[in-house]
Structure 1
């Protein structure tokens, strides 16, 4: 029996591992009925998504047929941004008439009877990404819901389409997801880029074009801009780095920004501290650039 991965207590007994070993110091007990190697004997995790995957992998041996990870736990397993980051609990759901597991560390959901659309992600059962998004939207703030949706519909991932999100949102009575869907866009590549775009739109500035590719007069590719106003030749770039972690990449970016400016674009560079106070400093920088370019607003 492979004890390098989490396993159920019953599975271990059946394989001939004694109760004394299973209750001894050799194995951790992350959930009732589950055994795993202590965390210091497994690979370290560096992100909240990796930590969630580890936790779900530890619970997976306990799951029965029809039980699956749902809501924000499912979204985290797909890699989507979640507002709370790492939380030491997981969402598990079933469709009626079944019941989810009762154990500490599990947030239980008993869903309406419906054809399951679960997927296998990293070897464990996970709710359909569109359904998981709707489930999480019940308790998340609207901007966080949009950020997760932007991730799902990104051309780089294709986990969902805007039309699929809209269709599922219409099933939820009294929940104004239709207004959230109206703010979802393909092409946003980070939750902060999404929040910046939403702040710009709320401030009644023009909505930027996402991922506009620009070229010099010879046709040489210069850059793909996070946000752009081609009419005014204003480019908006979000840079979340606190410092130049990779000096070579930082130098390449600086050269790229110079190329963009030489082509007559006013480059507005947004840093983390510009996103405070609801991104008010960032919006002010974009507004000033647009006015310099002749925007009449």
Structure 2
């Protein structure tokens, strides 16, 4: 191996370097694995380094595979490696034992679990909401489709298989962000009608005019998540004004939800949504209790009936 390539390497492959040279010119990624100081280290380099200390035939998986795929999963400080016999050990590494028929692919030179397999594996680690966020993000990055996830989970048996099947059934195409997923799930888990995702309005020439995150267009109601604290530019501000005027012309009610509405005051948010639904003439069922498990309220939130 040529150390000038800037790739991770084992200490045993660089016996020509003294300990002093190693300290001055290189840094340790894991015990016994080094890389040049000036080499940028991201998820790909960490995955490559982790596989150097794992047994032959190992592959990265779980949170690490999700990050390499550009998907959204909760942060985890370790690199996750799956091995057939021995679990990888060491600071910064989490090991998993391989299961029968796990799907492994080569991704940018790294052996890792396939997108569908990554979804199935993380069903053992994530909540329902985080698993749907993962699925929506895999679909958004065109790594898989909702139908592929549903098909893969249909025959799944064993621990967490029911969770995987339910999460797969809730994955949708066209979801723009993790917070949009959470907003949709707050609505659905409360037992309210599921909104249409990613409705697009085009002009006669096919040019995209507007996109609605979540909508009930037969009732002229749209619900959108806004992650901005203010207009990002004059152009964006003018675009928002034009869109709002178009909605007014079409007599469409736009209900905007921000981060705290989901994380801090979900009960108040559901009250706003149900109120808007009733005003739009929608039938509103009695709320189910399940949303409370996934969206805990903080002090000052409204108390809604189950």
TM-score tier (shorter): 0.7 to 0.9
User: Is 1:68 matched up with 2:59?
Assistant: yes
The residue aligned with 2:156 is 171
Task: Check the 8 A contact 2:77/2:92 in 1, yes or no.
Answer: yes
Distance 2:282 2:128 in 1: 29
Range that drifts further, 254-263 or 225-234 = 254-263
Deviation digits for residues 216-254 of structure 1, max 9, x if unmatched? 699874211111111101111211123334443344234
Distance 1:278 1:53 in 2: 38
Q: How does 1:17-166 map to 2 (within 5 A)?
A: 17-21=16-20, 23-38=22-37, 41-43=38-40, 51-83=42-74, 85=75, 87-95=76-84, 98-114=85-101, 117-154=103-140, 157-166=141-150
Alignment counterpart, residue 171 of structure 2, candidates 171, 180, 184? 184
The residue aligned with 1:212 is 199
Distance 1:31 1:186 in 2: 38
Distance 2:180 2:138 in 1: 14
The residue aligned with 1:48 is none
**CA RMSD after TM alignment:** 2.6
Distance 1:217 1:233 in 2: 21
3-state DSSP class of the match of 2:28?
coil
How big is the shift at 1:212?
Answer: 0.8
Deviation digits for residues 124-146 of structure 1, max 9, x if unmatched? 22111111111111121111011
Alignment counterpart, residue 8 of structure 2, candidates 6, 9, 22? 6
Task: Check the 8 A contact 1:223/1:260 in 2, yes or no.
Answer: no
Range that drifts further, 173-182 or 234-243 = 173-182
Distance 2:229 2:279 in 1: 28
How has the CA–CA distance of structure 1 residues 272 and 90 changed in structure 2, closer, same or farther, with 3 Å as cutoff?
A: same
How big is the shift at 1:292?
Answer: 1.7
How big is the shift at 1:153?
Answer: 2.6
How big is the shift at 1:23?
Answer: 3.7
TM-score by length of structure 1 reads 0.82
Equivalent pairs counted in the alignment come to 279
3-state DSSP class of the match of 2:215?
strand
How has the CA–CA distance of structure 1 residues 246 and 12 changed in structure 2, closer, same or farther, with 3 Å as cutoff?
A: farther
Deviation digits for residues 79-130 of structure 1, max 9, x if unmatched? 11112x2x321110023xx43433222111112243x532233432211111
The residue aligned with 2:225 is 238
Task: Check the 8 A contact 1:6/1:36 in 2, yes or no.
Answer: yes
How has the CA–CA distance of structure 1 residues 217 and 131 changed in structure 2, closer, same or farther, with 3 Å as cutoff?
A: closer
Give ranges in structure 1 of 5+ residues lacking alignment.
Answer: 46-50
